[in-house]
């Protein structure tokens, strides 16, 4: 729900920021035509101080301690979204060429009728004709700058034959939401963000796992809670790479996905699921491009990235025989590099550890096997999973069913759903043994097994 107080405080502070921005534009315009102004440089115009403000915009500026140039670039990236008419002055045309002045930079949008600022626009406003200042300013668009590292703002990619500064200045949706709504909205699954938020209503008590598996999962939770102490205070960043990588492997339905969701739930982290079987593209560069969108948005967000169906991309490699094989290796290499560089938790899930190339196995901090549940574990899953509203037919012996039928927890849930629907269809709350056996038969059939 939108918090109107957050919106109001952001609006008030951004109005002051825009007034400062407007004065910079006016001063640059006067200096450009050598008209009189009370400033000899735009750098003399003091940015507003938001002392005492409780807005998320003010908190963001204070936290990052932006210098004059960074503060201006942030405002320039923000203006097209909140006050686009401020940039209309750059739409004036050069009488000699009948085009917008080259030094203004800028571009037209597909739908937006106004002026979209580019890197060139920023150079004109801040540097004017000062080449030294222009060269110095380019640091703000460097990949090592915090704007890029923390996915705050960046220059859009342009063709290799175009000047680098002709790319539009883009501000991330999360930062834009923070400045306007007061909090970042969670991204929706789309071609621009091919990952889905993974949630669960279950608790750890609902997921029946062995003591050994739970111990290994607790180690992951410990890393989440103490990673900053480990890497910072204990200075392990000297010898450890950032982030934590874990492989969950085991048959379908053994709890890999639910465990990932519960890790996020317990530690207060968002978990985003990426189905690699749907991501692998036959088009050159598309898989890398799609994955890049996920990693770029996840960087420094403390998200957990859960890559499902890892076999699709990390299967055992064969000799490179054709362009398709080279392509697959290129996709794998790209994902591996992004995973290694990611400073958060990455979990890869596979049905069979043997499907994963040994060269990749060594890169994981932990490898957790999710085996088929034991007889006792199956008994607990059966007992814990039936709705409280139902009653079991007297012939049903849960202990015997757990002993006799070796199936996964996920399969048990499917069977219980089948039995419950059959009961509802009969207008009763009684679970019948015949329906349970039919449900078990169906699950066996899925795996090409017979009762």
What is the b/e burial string over 63-91, where b = at least 16 CB atoms within 10 angstroms of the residue's CB? Answer: eeebeebbbbbbbbbbbbebbeebbeebe
Do 70 and 113 fall into the same domain?
A: yes
Whether residue 353 contacts residue 248, with contact meaning beta carbons closer than 8 Å, is answered with: no
| Cβ atoms within 10 Å of 450's Cβ, excluding its own | 6
| pLDDT-derived band at 280, boundaries 50, 70, 90 | low
Do 46 and 157 fall into the same domain?
A: yes
Do 27 and 86 fall into the same domain?
A: yes
pLDDT value, residue 411:
97
Domain carrying residue 266? 196-369
pLDDT value, residue 284:
55
Do 14 and 145 fall into the same domain?
A: yes
pLDDT tens for residues 287-297? Answer: 777 788 889 88
Cα 129 to Cα 123: distance, rounded to the nearest angstrom: 9
In a domain, 58, yes or no: yes
DSSP state for residue 300 in the 8-state scheme = T
Do 280 and 156 fall into the same domain?
A: no
Do 10 and 140 fall into the same domain?
A: yes
Is residue 355 pLDDT above 80, yes or no?
no
**Torsion angle in degrees (nearest 10) through CA of 365, 370, 374, 380:** 100
Query: How many domains does the chain divide into?
Result: 3
Beta bridge partners of 367: 247
Do 123 and 166 fall into the same domain?
A: yes
Whether residue 221 contacts residue 397, with contact meaning beta carbons closer than 8 Å, is answered with: no
Do 15 and 33 fall into the same domain?
A: yes
Whether residue 234 contacts residue 182, with contact meaning beta carbons closer than 8 Å, is answered with: no
pLDDT value, residue 285:
67
In a domain, 321, yes or no: yes
pLDDT value, residue 116:
97
pLDDT value, residue 292:
84
In a domain, 185, yes or no: no
In a domain, 204, yes or no: yes
Question: Which CATH number characterizes residue 237's domain?
Answer: 3.40.50.300
| Cβ atoms within 10 Å of 257's Cβ, excluding its own | 21
Is residue 449 pLDDT above 90, yes or no?
no
Distances, alpha carbon 63 to alpha carbons 28, 55, 57, 66, 433, in Å: 29, 12, 10, 8, 62
pLDDT tens for residues 315-350? Answer: 655 455 555 556 566 767 778 888 888 999 999 999
Of 353, 369, 385, the domain-final residue: 369
In a domain, 43, yes or no: yes
Do 141 and 56 fall into the same domain?
A: yes
Do 247 and 302 fall into the same domain?
A: yes
Do 286 and 349 fall into the same domain?
A: yes
The tokens describing 164, both together, are 């680098």
Do 208 and 175 fall into the same domain?
A: no
In a domain, 316, yes or no: yes
Most confident of 352-356, 359-363, 366-370: 366-370
Higher pLDDT, residue 291 or 207: 207
pLDDT tens for residues 422-438? Answer: 999 999 999 999 999 99
Segment 180-193 mean pLDDT: 86
Cα 36 to Cα 64: distance, rounded to the nearest angstrom: 35
pLDDT value, residue 9:
94
pLDDT tens for residues 61-103? Answer: 999 999 999 999 999 999 999 999 999 999 998 888 888 889 9
Segment 111-117 mean pLDDT: 94
Of 340, 369, 398, the domain-final residue: 369
In a domain, 296, yes or no: yes
Distances, alpha carbon 14 to alpha carbons 6, 17, 363, 384, in Å: 12, 5, 45, 53
pLDDT tens for residues 7-59? Answer: 999 999 999 999 999 999 999 999 998 899 999 999 999 999 998 899 999 99
Beta strands in 111-178 (DSSP E): 115-116, 153-155, 169-171
- Parallel/antiparallel/unpaired status of strands 107-108 and 115-116: antiparallel
Cα 171 to Cα 180: distance, rounded to the nearest angstrom: 13
Of 369, 397, 431, the domain-final residue: 369
Question: Which CATH number characterizes residue 408's domain?
Answer: 1.10.8.60
**Torsion angle in degrees (nearest 10) through CA of 356, 358, 360, 365:** 100
In a domain, 188, yes or no: no
């Amino acid at each position: 729900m939108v918090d109107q107080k957050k919106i109001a405080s952001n609006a008030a502070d951004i109005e002051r920021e825009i007034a400062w921005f407007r004065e910079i534009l006016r001063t640059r315009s006067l200096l450009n035509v050598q008209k009189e102004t009370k400033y000899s440089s735009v750098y003399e115009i003091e940015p507003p101080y938001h002392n005492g403000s409780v807005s998320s915009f003010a908190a963001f500026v204070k936290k990052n301690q932006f210098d004059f140039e960074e503060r201006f670039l942030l405002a320039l990236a923000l203006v097209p979204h909140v006050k686009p008419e401020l940039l209309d002055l750059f739409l004036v045309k050069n009488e000699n060429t009948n085009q917008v002045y080259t030094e203004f930079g800028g571009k037209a949008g597909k739908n937006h009728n106004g002026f979209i600022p580019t890197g060139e626009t920023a150079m004109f406003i801040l540097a004017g004709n000062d080449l030294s200042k222009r060269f110095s300013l380019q640091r703000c668009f460097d990949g090592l700058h915090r704007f890029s590292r923390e996915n705050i703002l960046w220059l859009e990619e342009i063709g290799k034959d175009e000047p680098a500064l002709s790319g539009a200045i883009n501000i991330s949706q999360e930062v834009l939401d923070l400045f306007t709504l007061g909090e970042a909205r969670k991204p929706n699954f789309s071609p621009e963000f091919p990952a889905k938020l993974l949630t669960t209503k279950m608790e750890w008590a609902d997921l029946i796992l062995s003591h050994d598996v739970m111990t290994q999962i607790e180690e992951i939770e410990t890393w989440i809670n103490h990673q900053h102490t480990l890497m910072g205070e204990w200075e392990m960043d000297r010898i450890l790479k950032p982030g934590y990588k874990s492989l969950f492997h085991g048959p379908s339905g053994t709890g890999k996905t639910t465990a990932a969701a519960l890790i996020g739930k317990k530690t207060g982290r968002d978990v985003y699921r990426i189905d690699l079987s749907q991501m692998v593209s036959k088009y050159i560069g598309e898989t890398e491009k799609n994955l890049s969108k996920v990693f770029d948005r996840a960087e420094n967000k403390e998200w957990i990235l859960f890559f499902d169906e890892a076999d699709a991309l990390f299967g055992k490699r064969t000799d490179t025989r054709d362009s398709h094989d080279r392509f697959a290796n290129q996709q794998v290499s790209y994902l591996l590099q992004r995973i290694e560089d990611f400073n958060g938790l990455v979990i890869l899930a596979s049905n069979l550890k043997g499907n994963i190339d040994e060269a990749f196995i060594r890169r994981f901090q932990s490898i957790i096997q999710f085996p088929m549940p034991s007889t006792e574990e199956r008994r607990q899953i059966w007992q814990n999973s039936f709705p409280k509203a139902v009653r079991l037919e007297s012939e049903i012996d849960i202990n015997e069913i757990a002993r006799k039928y070796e199936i996964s927890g996920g399969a048990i849930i499917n069977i219980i759903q089948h039995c419950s629907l059959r009961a509802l269809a009969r207008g009763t709350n009684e679970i019948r043994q015949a329906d349970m056996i039919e449900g078990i038969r169906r699950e066996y059939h899925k795996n090409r097994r017979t009762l």
